[in-house]
Structure 1
Amino acid sequence: MSAERYTLLDGTVHVYRRGNSRFWQCAIYLSGRNHRSSTHQDRLDAALTVAREWALDRIAEDRLGTRSLKLNQSVAAELTVTGLAPNRSRNAKTFREAAEAFVAEYEVLTRGERNPEYVSQKGALLRLRLIPFFGDTPVCDVSAGMIQDYRLHRLDPTKPQQLTSSGRRRRIEKPPSRSTLHKEIVTLRQVLKTANRKGWIFALPDMSAPYKSSGKVAHRAWFSPEEYKRLHDATLERARRPLKERWRAECEQFHDYVVFMANTGLRPDEASRLQYRDVSIINDEATGQRILEIKVRGKRGTGYCKSMPEAVSAFERLSERNAREPTNLIFGKVQRQLLNRVLDELGLKRDREGNLRTAYSLRHTYICLRLMEGADIYQVAKNCRTSVDMIEKFYASHIKTRLDTAAINVTKAASRKGPSGAHVAGEGPSDDLANASLEDR
């Protein structure tokens, strides 16, 4: 049914009445959300007055909820002045107390749900980074400006050096990576949310990073087919002829590790936890090949992985060389020093963009090679226990075989034009030099 409509506040507020209702409604669009309410008035003049007051309340709530206006400080100060709260300086909770409360409840509530190492990292970040900066600052005084000062403190390599307890200057630390700083800000947000739940603050400050709406999406470091062949041949040569005979077992183990990782796509931490009882050799019915079926335990819980056939020989060599007890670890800790030594010798420690290659790069290599061979991206994501969105963002964007030339170089069929010399639709842009006769050139 048609509706009667009016507007207020320069057209931002809409007042309307549907044909099947006697009451007027009002609506306003704020921060990506449409707010609606009934005025409970059947007279237009009364409805307009109610709608105006309602809209001003919604605008005020939106500003306080989406911007840091030092609400915590103003409300606390007002309560102190009016006598509704005790002395703020003496009773306000500090950031240190809020951090301790967060760690205490986080360890209990995530027990059995998150990796214990990940949980312990939260306490380490607070102890080493956040508490030394925010320290005994009242948690209600942690503002958007103070959070920005923390970012500058972490990213500025020219900040003054601090003295240790013995009077020595600390060494200058290199600025943290984007992901490291992001983890610290996430932990800071979790502490402030804990304080908010306990009533120590009234709102969270704006924690968004200014001047940077979105970060640059860079692909993960991996080995191209040619680079992986060089790495494979180098580790195989070391396994056959190690620099010292007493290093033979380590070199053979390392070569099998490289082959195993590049043909399964496991994360390094998943491979470090892998036991012999988690791996079995099966004959795959779909392909008729011998592959490994792996029960993976990692940061995403328990999942399954089916390997490439090349991983079977590496696993068989590992089983023959080591004591194959069901609960024995297959690899244990990653041989980082040997990996870095081989990569340095081959000049493969960094890729074309300067990204460091690590053991994780073997997982990235597996994903990229599968996509280059035309594997289904959804199945690759399931096999690697990740999401299609992550693969599309960090892997598929730089794989040239993901571009379908037949779908890109599409042209419309059209009839040729007369002898006017105009370009004929359905062909590429004309190359006058190539089409000219030798005399014309």
Structure 2
Amino acid sequence: MDDKIITLFQYVKDKNGVEKTKSRNWYSRCYLDGKTRQRSTKTDDLKTAIDISKKWYGKMLSKLDDGVPTERLDREDHLFDELAMEWLDLCKRSSETGHRHKNYYKDHNISYKNYIQPFFKDDYVEQIDTPRLLQWQKWRESRRIKSPDLLQTRLKKEYTVIFQILQMGLDKGFITGRPEKPMSLIRQMGSVKRPPSRGTFTSSEYKKLLQVSRQRIRNAKETRKEQIKLKEDKNKKSFGGGWEQYILVRMYLHYYIILLGHTGVRPYELQRVRHKDIVMVDDDDDERKHLEIFIIGKRRDRTIISKYGGFFSYRGLCKHICPDHKPDDLIFPTNPYLNFRELLIESGLRYSINGDRRDAKSLRHFYIMTELQGGTPIEYLTEQCDVSYQVIRDHYARHLQPKMFREQLIKVHHIENP
């Protein structure tokens, strides 16, 4: 028997004449790629069985040409969507057990349900190749909601989901390798769009932000005093309570802003910091006082150095908010994200002059831009902020203007004649 022969037979009687089965279905058998393969045609009509056998044999030949492992040639393909559901279930368990961030499953599930599943729901994982990914990418460009352009950052996140699912198929032996990411369209996008601008603050805007923050704390304290007076006066009616909590939240936010602006760490990195991770370095010169903070980072763990403002901010936090803190306590037990947005809106600083929306990460951008303007070498910032040299060049250094270095540029250098 060679690779070109298909044998059709029925299980009727064995050598002794004993009936094996009541089924009269035809079976196909062939020898392909060093292995004998057999399957039922699920029909007792010979003509139909011949057609089914030809298609079965042809499909195996096609799979063999596509590089499908020999042990999988006569197996059914696997739906990409079914594999995705299994992968998302793993993500969900990781989020629920705390091995991953609580939003890890939520973010990936939204990306898959909205932008991946509608296109790939009927695809088999064995059929997904680079041309198919390119078709999806072109389709994805038409699925815009908020912005007219498909940003590379958004596309990168969705490709991460797709390739994680394909990796599971690879681990299970469904495929022998993952397809290459189609680069033609991605390069075209990169050539026509500059790296996105990152919302930051000017020095005057940063000072204004802190001024409004202090005023909000004073207002909360005055309201609390007024509330106490009304409660003591039985003839007058008090108003809504909870102002002790408002004061606490606004004070936390104030110290949070200063520490972010004087360290350049990512907001969520600062929210992981515990009191035991901080060393206060004192000095006779106030401007040399600083903090050494151990950071559990995005790419790696590191010990960073704060400026003197961070030193006084942390000292004030310990003195006014948590004088009895324990070493394992988080310095920021709650996420001040929503309160920071309210502060930005009240300060009139929610958007930059270029229309870039600001958030807590803008304080990190403010730190990096300020350091670049002050002449800090990029190599130092890559270590302090846990960011690559290329990112600083593409997203920060390109925003520097000559007027930022006015004093250095107008300085007169006396050049001796040769």
Given the alignment of the two structures, is residue 232 of structure 1 paired with residue 207 of structure 2, yes or no?
no
Asked if the contact 1:196/1:204 (under 8 Å) is kept, the reply is no
More deviation, 86-95/271-280: 86-95
- How far residue 262 of structure 1 moved from its aligned partner, in angstroms, is 0.4
More helix by share: 2
Q: Show CA shifts across 1:307-352 (max 9, x none).
A: 0001112111211212411111111333222222222233221223
Asked if the contact 1:115/1:299 (under 8 Å) is kept, the reply is no
Cα distance in 2 for residues equivalent to 1:257 and 1:178: 31
Supply the AA of the counterpart residue of 1:331.
Answer: F
Kindly, what percent of the aligned residue pairs are identical? 22
1:185 aligns to what SS in structure 2? helix
Partner of 1:8: none
Partner of 1:96: 81
Cα distance in 2 for residues equivalent to 1:190 and 1:207: 16
Partner of 2:390: 389
Asked if the contact 1:80/1:87 (under 8 Å) is kept, the reply is no
Distance change >3 Å, CA 93–CA 347, structure 1 → 2? same
In structure 1, which of residues 178, 182, 186 is the aligned counterpart of residue 152 of structure 2?
A: 178
Asked if the contact 2:272/2:330 (under 8 Å) is kept, the reply is yes
Asked if the contact 2:130/2:179 (under 8 Å) is kept, the reply is no
Partner of 1:207: 182
Given the alignment of the two structures, is residue 137 of structure 1 paired with residue 123 of structure 2, yes or no?
yes
Supply the AA of the counterpart residue of 1:212.
Answer: M
Structure 2 stretches of 5 or more lacking a match?
1-57, 94-98, 225-242, 411-418
More deviation, 355-364/294-303: 294-303
The number of residue pairs the alignment matches comes to 320
Distance change >3 Å, CA 122–CA 209, structure 1 → 2? farther
Q: Show CA shifts across 1:375-409 (max 9, x none).
A: 222112211122222212211111225879869xx
TM-score by length of 2: 0.64
In structure 1, which of residues 147, 150, 159 is the aligned counterpart of residue 136 of structure 2?
A: 150
Asked if the contact 1:157/1:174 (under 8 Å) is kept, the reply is no
Structure 1 stretches of 5 or more lacking a match?
1-73, 109-113, 159-171, 408-441
Partner of 2:294: 295
Cα distance in 2 for residues equivalent to 1:202 and 1:250: 51
Distance change >3 Å, CA 77–CA 353, structure 1 → 2? farther
Supply the AA of the counterpart residue of 1:317.
Answer: G
CA RMSD of aligned residues (A): 4.2
Asked if the contact 1:271/1:332 (under 8 Å) is kept, the reply is no
TM-score by length of 1: 0.61
Cα distance in 2 for residues equivalent to 1:244 and 1:145: 64
- How far residue 300 of structure 1 moved from its aligned partner, in angstroms, is 2.3
Supply the AA of the counterpart residue of 1:207.
Answer: P
Asked if the contact 1:140/1:201 (under 8 Å) is kept, the reply is no
Cα distance in 2 for residues equivalent to 1:121 and 1:249: 30
- How far residue 88 of structure 1 moved from its aligned partner, in angstroms, is 7.8
Cα distance in 1 for residues equivalent to 2:388 and 2:214: 33
Distance change >3 Å, CA 129–CA 379, structure 1 → 2? same
Asked if the contact 2:125/2:174 (under 8 Å) is kept, the reply is no
Asked if the contact 2:88/2:105 (under 8 Å) is kept, the reply is no
Asked if the contact 1:293/1:305 (under 8 Å) is kept, the reply is yes
1:275-424 pair list within 5 angstroms: 275-283=274-282, 289-320=288-319, 321-322=321-322, 323-400=324-401
- How far residue 201 of structure 1 moved from its aligned partner, in angstroms, is 5.8
More deviation, 332-341/361-370: 332-341
- How far residue 258 of structure 1 moved from its aligned partner, in angstroms, is 0.9
Given the alignment of the two structures, is residue 218 of structure 1 paired with residue 218 of structure 2, yes or no?
no
Asked if the contact 1:139/1:201 (under 8 Å) is kept, the reply is no
Asked if the contact 1:93/1:200 (under 8 Å) is kept, the reply is no
Asked if the contact 2:200/2:358 (under 8 Å) is kept, the reply is yes
Cα distance in 2 for residues equivalent to 1:117 and 1:208: 32
More deviation, 143-152/377-386: 143-152
Given the alignment of the two structures, is residue 250 of structure 1 paired with residue 249 of structure 2, yes or no?
yes
More deviation, 354-363/382-391: 382-391
Partner of 1:78: 62
